[in-house]
Amino acid sequence: MEGFLAGIFKHHADVLEAIIESSYDGLWICDGEGKILKINKASEKINDVSAKDVIGRNVKDLVREGLFDKSVTLEVLKKKKRVSILQTLSNGKTLLVTGNPIFIDGKLEYVVTNDRDITELIHLKEELEESRKTSRKYYKKLQDALKRKGGEETRFIFCSKVMRSIHETVRNVAEVDVTVFLQGESGVGKSRLAKMIHSLSERAKAPFIHVNCGAIPENLLESELFGYVKGAFTGARNEGKPGLVEMADKGTLFLDEITELPLNLQVKLLHFLDSEVVKRVGDTKERKIDVRIIAASNRDIAKYVKMKRFREDLYFRLNIVPIVIPPLRDRREDIPLLIAYFLERFNKKYGKEVTITPEAVDLLCRYSFPGNIRELSNILERLIVMSRKPQIEVGDLPDYVKEDVFVPLETDPSAVPLKTTLKNAVSECERNILKQALTVCRTQQEMAELLGVSQPTIARKLRQHMLESPWKNNGAH
């Protein structure tokens, strides 16, 4: 070996030897016949061979013995030019092997082959590809989520604890295809919540079909829900029609006011929920439908079940995740936030910049809102549209709001001892109400407005109950 190096490079032999050995790539050097003259340490390691076993032997023999499946050296000798191949070894490594011919005086004297272990590189490339795929997937998901999030209709405003817990439940169940049953008074946000569930789910791009079971005449409900075929009944459209259930395929079917569904259709609905197939009216063909069900009711459905007006089995089937949305008066802390939200929304809509006084917000916070959020939204929209002033004040609020303010009682009137006379009990209750009103009003006039009586009556009652008003200028101004 020394002779070989010495023969070629003479006094540079040691330096060359060091360079060859320090190479991270494997190096094979053969003569013009394919006889192995030198392999470095890196090559021993990469190829799992030892130098002493191969040096002096011909690569043709090594290929014949099965040590390698192909030889770049032989290819170079044949083609007399540089050759590169990818080689997979039995130990699982992948090599990029490049053989270079070395001509001396036009004669191919040596072949120098360079083995580069690219297993790691391939690994990294695969990982890179995988992570690119993953990031593409997440990017798409993010875009979808942003698209879904976009709509005004799916914004949900709250700060109360009870709504936070509802919101959390909704976010948790949205992605699962579980049936959700929303209960709550009219205007509490059932429809909005249903849309939100749909838009947060994987079905967001598929249809959201809102069926108001109470709004469709009973005789049309079956064909509206399940569709019909040509000639199914008199008046049926000639070509037939798919039903709302079918139209919601792959999406969400929102069955609103579910208690209004007649008993015969409750049976049909239950059958559909169990079988997931629909048959159009007058049809024999069954169609497989994939929908997520959300049901809602503003009535006490349990009572309907008790009265046998609603099938218990259907109730159980729908009531898998029950969500009860409390009325606005039971979560008054949401009112100021909702006021701010609607002000912003309607100001934008009507190109105005109306604000509201803290007193007016306070009064609204004490109103009972039988129509819940819908009523609050309507009140504010009307006030903004009508407003000629930059600020909404107590006086601008509708009379029915001012007349129906809730004053929390310090003492529960029912806690008045039973032994007392009715007159005394009423008087005690009146005193409590006046005391409460004194804490929230700034004038006798405001108290009069709050309690729906005249200012002189307030003055008289305060005197009668020996209650002092805390205002400096005690009087009606």
Ligand X SMILES: Nc1ncnc2c1ncn2[C@@H]1O[C@H](COP(=O)(O)OP(=O)(O)OP(=O)(O)O)[C@@H](O)[C@H]1O
Name the residues that contact Mg ion, by CB under 5 A: 190-191
291 binds, among Mg ion, ligand X, none (CB under 5 to 8 A by kind): none
Distance CA 413, CA 426 (A): 9
Distance CA 205, CA 195 (A): 12
Residue 123 has which token pair?
Answer: 């690994």
> Between the CA of residue 443 and those of 194, 439, 458, what are the distances in Å?
45, 10, 10
251 binds, among Mg ion, ligand X, none (CB under 5 to 8 A by kind): none
Distance CA 430, CA 409 (A): 10
Q: Which residue, 67 or 340, is less far from ligand X as judged by CB?
A: 340
Q: Which residue, 109 or 153, is less far from ligand X as judged by CB?
A: 153
Q: Kindly give the interhelix angle for 119-150 and 190-200, rounded to the nearest 10 degrees.
A: 160
Nearest to 336 by CA among 148, 157, 174: 157
Nearest to 44 by CA among 54, 35, 34, 36: 54
Minimum CB separation from Mg ion for residue 122, in Å? Answer: 57
Minimum CB separation from ligand X for residue 368, in Å? Answer: 16
Neighbours of 255 (CB within 10 A): 26
Minimum CB separation from Mg ion for residue 376, in Å? Answer: 15
User: Residue with the closest Cβ to Mg ion?
Assistant: 191
Minimum CB separation from Mg ion for residue 373, in Å? Answer: 11
Q: Which residue, 60 or 167, is less far from ligand X as judged by CB?
A: 167
Minimum CB separation from ligand X for residue 185, in Å? Answer: 7
Q: Which residue, 293 or 434, is less far from ligand X as judged by CB?
A: 293
User: Residue with the closest Cβ to ligand X?
Assistant: 189
Phi-psi region of 64 (alpha: psi -120 to 50; beta: other; left: phi over 0): alpha
110 binds, among ligand X, Mg ion, none (CB under 5 to 8 A by kind): none
- Strand extents, DSSP E, 305-414: 321-324, 355-356, 391-392
Q: Which residue, 30 or 253, is less far from Mg ion as judged by CB?
A: 253
Question: What count of Cα atoms within 13 Å lies in the side-chain half-sphere of residue 365?
Answer: 16
Q: Which residue, 168 or 286, is less far from ligand X as judged by CB?
A: 168
443 binds, among Mg ion, ligand X, none (CB under 5 to 8 A by kind): none
373 binds, among ligand X, Mg ion, none (CB under 5 to 8 A by kind): ligand X
Minimum CB separation from ligand X for residue 247, in Å? Answer: 20
Check if the beta carbon of residue 71 is closer than 8 Å to that of residue 113: no
Minimum CB separation from ligand X for residue 156, in Å? Answer: 4
Q: Which residue, 110 or 181, is less far from Mg ion as judged by CB?
A: 181
Q: Which residues bind ligand X (CB under 6 A)?
A: 156-158, 184, 186-192, 298, 341, 373-374, 377
Check if the beta carbon of residue 148 is closer than 8 Å to that of residue 261: no
